[in-house]
Amino acid sequence: MAHQPGRHFLQIPGPTNTPLPVLAAIAKPTIDHRGPEFQALGREVLAGIRTIFQTEDPVIIYPASGTGAWEAALVNTLSPGDRVLMVETGWFATLWSRMAKRLGLEVELLPGDWRSGVKADAVEARLGQDRGGAVKAVAVVHNETSTGVTSDIASVRRALDRAGHPALLMVDTISSLGSIDYHHEEWGVDVTVGGSQKGLMLPPGLSFNAISQKALAASRDAGFPRSFWAWDEMLAANANGFFPYTPATNMLQGLKVAIDMLHDEGLDNVFARHDRAAEATRRAVRHWGFEIQCADPREYSSALTAVRLPEGHSADRLRAEILRRSNLSLGNGLGPLADRVFRIGHLGDFHDLMVTGTLSGVEMGLAACGVPHRPGGVEAAMSYLNGNLATARAAE
């Protein structure tokens, strides 16, 4: 079919749906990036983005994908040959470690099972053996988009502190920023990496480094050459609301509106909305009789749910049928999870009806593909959402 009527359901774990006010802001005429109107915009977004990272530390904004912000975090703080401790929680943690190797860093990857988050005790034990301080940074993913697992970053910080280790702590929040509660400063993170296309409700094209004073000090002695990614030039220009090179002007116009929308709703309400959608989705999945990829309920992601299909059933065939039948896009399995899992995104700009509509499309697809399941998963989700709403109203 050349045209499918109705709204396309973009329920991958990012990019997410971009709300109309954000699109309208991006579509405004481009302004002079050296003029006073832009200066006011620059100052506003540079201050506003700090509130989303929940920090007073500087946040640098790049016209790049999250991959660029990964690289910026590494090259601004480290030198060739430095040792970095990373944790294999899934596909994106693996990709970040591959990048580090290609840059010339010595990567030590703590193995994982792609069903669990970062084990703080394993990090502590490894750092406790590093009496000479060879490990210069610990890099972890907060919300692993390939598995639907969220790691406890505060516990990782405590692990470094108990080990008495001076390594920098770097955290990827690309799929959690604006969706799952995160505290860059309170949790003692040195570099937090973020992206625009998920909880911030923007198209791809902006990425972020939130940087501690410790990371900033490390950047002065870092040995990697850098120009485009350099923090010092960025910070110097940002002090006056400008950028050292042509920024993504229209995306910054959209970012201002996205930040305002998050604050209008209230960050606590944003996180509660994501929590509610995630639990409704999991109840549907369990009712259908499927296993959730995340093995520990304490680590369930509020941004997405990765669903394991029974042996002998193709997740990719199911996704294709759902797209054909319902105009609904779901996330594919990555790496060793290819064709084994499908991922339901519930992050960004959405509400309860979009969640139940998505689950309805999935349930119809399961029936069409002959995947054994127990019907009624959508009703299980609706029952939870109705009860959750009633409890919230009673508390008002």
Amino acid at 314: S
**150: helix, coil or strand?**
strand
Sequence-ordered alpha helix ranges (H) in the chain: 20-26, 36-53, 66-75, 91-103, 120-129, 153-163, 213-219, 231-238, 249-265, 267-288, 315-326, 352-369, 377-395
Q: What is the DSSP string of 194-224?
A: EESSSTT---S--EEEEE-HHHHHHHTT--S
343 annotated as a binding-site residue: yes
- What does the CA dihedral 93, 298, 378, 361 come to, rounded to 10 degrees? 0
Token digits for 116?
A: 């669990």
Contact between 294 and 301 under an 8 Å Cβ cutoff? The reply is yes
CA distance 138 to 79: 14
Determine the Cα–Cα distance for residues 107 and 118; give it in Å rounded to an integer. 16
Of 100, 196, 94, which is closest to residue 141 (Cα–Cα)? 94
With CA atoms as reference, report the closest residue to 250 among 20, 69, 33. Answer: 33
Amino acid type, 387: G
Q: CA 114, 116, 121, 124 torsion: positive or negative? A: positive
Q: Is the Cβ–Cβ distance between 219 and 232 less than 8 Å?
A: yes
How many angstroms separate the CA atoms of 33 and 246, rounded?
A: 7
Q: In whole angstroms, how large is the CA radius of gyration of the chain?
A: 21
Annotated binding site for substrate: 343
- The annotation places the binding site at 343
